Amino acid sequence: MPVHAYYCQTTSWTLIGQAGSSDPRRQREALDEITRRYRHPVVAYLRRKGLSESDADDVAQGFLLDVVLARDLVGRADRSKGRFRTYLLTALNRYLIDWWRHEARRRTAAPGGDPDDPAAGPEPGDPRTPEQAFLHVWASGQVDAVLAGVEADCRRNGQAVHWLLFYEQVVRPILQEAEPPARAALCARYGLADELTVSNMVTTVKRRFRRALRDRVARELGPDDPVDEEIMDLMEILSGTGASS
């Protein structure tokens, strides 16, 4: 999964708190970030619901502006009631139902209009449900943000080679569904003494990644949600074996 710039490291609930700030600038920045963060999962959901690419973009824009911002969906979110993504997905489905009804009325009123005019249909070759598509894009963003943060931290601390080894040994093989390169080859490429050095450097970044992921997930949750269970859900969503919201 690429490291997308539209996912920052600020957590959802932190952003939601900032969205209720009395400072107009902080409030607007938080709301803008929330809409950027969830736009891609929303579009993925709408595409799997059968909307064309242009309709999905339009409906996503309308939902984020009319519901998330204008109707203060964020301000009414309650952390004690669970995951924000579930709350947002429920609101999105309601918004889509209203949009479909409006479209049916519009088509009926149009000369020669057909209220049963079919939607574009889901993207071919994608077996995921709309909820799975939403969650997969959301989960990818979570991991992308953590990877981006770990990379920045490594480079800031003079450990660019640590990051490159981690990327070569762990991240790239997952992205390309390939075997990791031989450690001897990495020793030669990066001028390292031996394979144990490669192993130790990769392990250092793995541990940093796990800590960063756990920290991010912990701050995303409601007060009673178990962190380990959420991380397991995240991994299942990314592997395609789960669709928990």
**Tell me: the pLDDT tens digits for 80-117?**
666 777 878 888 998 999 898 888 787 676 565 554 55
Alpha carbons within 13 angstroms on the beta-carbon side of residue 61 total 6
H-helix or E-strand spanning residue 237: helix 227-239
**Cβ atoms of residues 46 and 60 within 8 Å:** yes
Label residue 77 by pLDDT band (50, 70, 90): low
CB atoms < 10 A from the CB of 202, how many? 21
Residue 92 contacts residue 99 (beta carbons within 8 Å)? no
Mean pLDDT computed over 115-138:
68
Residue 81 DSSP symbol: G
Highest mean pLDDT among 18-22, 131-135, 186-190, 221-225: 186-190
pLDDT per position as a tens digit, 154-175: 999 999 999 999 999 999 988 8
Encoding tokens for residue 124? Answer: 């071919």
Say how far apart CA 160 and CA 166 lie, in whole Å: 10
Q: Looking at residue 63, what DSSP letter applies? A: I
Listed by start position, the domains of the chain span 12-239
